[in-house]
Each structure stands twice: as structure tokens, then as C-alpha cells.
A and B are shown apart, each in its own frame.
Chain A
Amino acid sequence: MSQATSHPTQQEHAKADEKTLFGFWVYLMTDCVLFASLFATYAVLRNNTYGGPDGAELFNMPFVLVETIILLVSSFTSGLAYYWSKRGSVTQVVVWSVATFLLGSLFLAMELHEFRHLVAEGNSWQRSGFLTAFFTLVGTHGVHILVGLIWLVVLLRQVIRRRLTRHVQRRLALFSMYWHFLDVVWIFIFTIVYLIGVANV
């Protein structure tokens, strides 16, 4: 903000925020390319089981379905938090952000449980090319979720302490974009890794 001109107008603030939101969108698109390359790797290696088990043997489908629904609901609650930030209610934003955090944590906990079980049975990323690709792809998504959860905690603190300032609102918008995007990626993981993995082809 230059000292020579007067304090930025409301409009100028809005434009600056728009640019940030747009820049973040571009980042999300590059993240999609990252995931696409992990998907391509998985597609190439999915039958390289090296004598070990394949997806059909390993995946607990009801468990994965529950994970998927949980993440979907968390995407919805994050949207609600953003909605309430536009309506100006700090309480509601906190409520729905906490809900998002709890659901996201539950998703991650379930995923870690799945990973731990696989490793315990000897089916770690070192077992086969298929499992390497699986852990890399699903694990990268999980890391994104973890980062999102940490971000959400920090953001929640800001919502409570600073109330819904322009900056906090912008960050809530950015977060909900990020969280929605993670759910979109998960749709493809659920479909390509799990559903197609257990389908009889």
C-alpha cells in the first residue's frame, strides 16, 4: 500500500482479494497436475503386484465408503462455514469450522488406520510397485488433508480472536476452496484406486 495515495478504497481491497483468490485457484490447478502424474504412475503400476496382494484382496470397501462420505460431509460443512462468514456470524463460522475439522480428522484417522493395517501385514510401499504407487498417491492426498487441518486450526484461532475481518474472510474463502478441491481429488482416488481396484476386470 503506497503512502503517496490515500488509504485504499473498499473497491481496491475487494480487487486485491479477488486477485489472491484467483492466484490460489491457479495454484490449485497446478496441484491437480501433480495429482494427475501420481494417478498416471498408479495406472501404470496397478498390476505390478510382484506376487503380492492386489486391491481386491486388500481394500475394505465399506470402510472406504464411510471415509468418502465423511470427507464429502466435511466439504459441505466447510461450505457452511464460508456461508456463515458472509452472513457475519462468528459463532456459526466456529461451529461449522470445528465440524469440518472433526470430520477431516476422522477421515485422516481412518486412513492412517488403513495404512497401519497394511504395513502390519507386510503390505507396505516396499512390497510391490502397486503398493508403492498406492501409498504415494493416497499418502500425498493425506498429507494435503493434514496441512488443511493445521491451517484450519490456525484460521479458527484468528476467527475467534480477530472476528470476521476482511483478511479472515478472505482466508476462509481460500480454505474452503482448498478443502473442496481435496474432495474432488478424493473422488478420483475413490473411483480409480478403490472402485476399479475391486471391480472384476
Chain B
Amino acid sequence: MSKSKSTSSSTRLSETQELLLSYTIGFVLSILLTGIAYIAVMENLLRGWGVVYFVMVLALLQAIVQITFLLGLGKETKPRIKTGILAFMILVVFIIGGGSLWIMHNLNYRMSMPQMEHYMEEQVGL
């Protein structure tokens, strides 16, 4: 097992020093993003759905920050298989999650009173 030593002559960080820096940056950014999202909601800084989109974007950003800095996905060398699997997971999530939400939303609409009345008129002629 190789131990990494820092060389005083070069500006290049050793592998372990890079790791530590990566963790620290990831940690600090995560705390910041969490704090901003929390304050935005609790202090009512945005009206209506704006705050929802805002915190969702912050959550996605923090996920990217954590995957990059804590899980080290950015350091992967080609071929970037792990990144590919991540991308595939996101696709599956879109299909299953997004699809479920679409279906249920559509179902809610079709089962709503105005729509039911419409069916009654159309089909039974009431």
C-alpha cells in the first residue's frame, strides 16, 4: 500500500492531501447549501412555487457537490463507467418516478368531479 507524501518542492498535492481538500470543500459547500435552503423556506424569502423550485435546485446542486467531492466521482478515469451507471440510474428514476407522477396526476384529473360529470354526459347522455 503506497503512502502518499507531500513534496515541498512541487505545488502538486499528494493523493491524500487532495482527498482531504475534496472532503473539506464538499462539507463546507453542503453546509452552505443546506443553510441557504433552510433560511429561504423559514424566512419566506420566495413566494409560492418559487421557493419549491429554489430548494429543489439547491438539493440537486448539493447532491452533485457530494457526489463529486465526497464520493469522488469526478476523479474517475476513462472509461467513466461509474458515471455512466449513475446516468442510467437517473434515467430509470425519471421513467419510474416521473412516469408514476404523470400517471397519478392524470388519474386524479380523470376522477375529478367536473371530469366525471363530463363522462356521464358523454356516455350515458345525462
Which residues on A are within 8 Å of B, measured CB to CB? Answer: 22, 25-26, 29-30, 32-33, 36-37, 39-41, 43-44, 61, 65, 68-69, 72-73, 75-76, 79-80, 82-83, 86-88, 164, 166, 169, 177, 180-181, 183-184, 187-188, 190-192, 195-196, 198-201
SS of B interface (majority): helix
Which parts of B1-51 form the interface with A (CB within 8 Å)? 1, 3-4, 15-16, 19-20, 23, 26-27, 30-31, 34, 37-38, 41-42, 44, 47-49, 51
Which residues on B are within 8 Å of A, measured CB to CB? Answer: 1, 3-4, 15-16, 19-20, 23, 26-27, 30-31, 34, 37-38, 41-42, 44, 47-49, 51-52, 55-56, 58-59, 62-63, 66-67, 70-71, 81-82, 85-86, 88-89, 92-93, 96-97, 100-101, 104
SS of A interface (majority): helix
A33, B92: Cβ atoms under 8 Å? Answer: yes
Closest to B99 in A: A40
A37, B1: Cβ atoms under 8 Å? Answer: no
Looking at the assembled complex, report how far the CB atom of B29 sits from the nearest CB atom of chain A, in whole angstroms.
11
Closest to B56 in A: A191
Top 10 closest pairs, chain A to chain B, by CB: A191-B59, A29-B89, A79-B23, A36-B93, A40-B97, A76-B27, A40-B100, A180-B70, A44-B104, A36-B97
Closest to A85 in B: B1
Q: Which residues of A contact B51 (CB under 8 A)?
A: 199-201
Rounded to whole angstroms, the CA-CA distance of A43 and B38 in the bound complex is 20
Among B37, B49, B56, B81, point to the contact of A22 (Cβ < 8 A): B81
Q: Which residues of A contact B82 (CB under 8 A)?
A: 22, 25
B3, A87: Cβ atoms under 8 Å? Answer: yes
Rounded to whole angstroms, the CA-CA distance of A180 and B62 in the bound complex is 12
A69, B48: Cβ atoms under 8 Å? Answer: no
Looking at the assembled complex, report how far the CB atom of A97 sits from the nearest CB atom of chain B, in whole angstroms.
15
B37, A195: Cβ atoms under 8 Å? Answer: yes
Q: Which residues of A contact B47 (CB under 8 A)?
A: 200
Known interface pairs A72-B31, A180-B70, A181-B71. Does A29 touch B86 (Cβ–Cβ under 8 Å)? yes
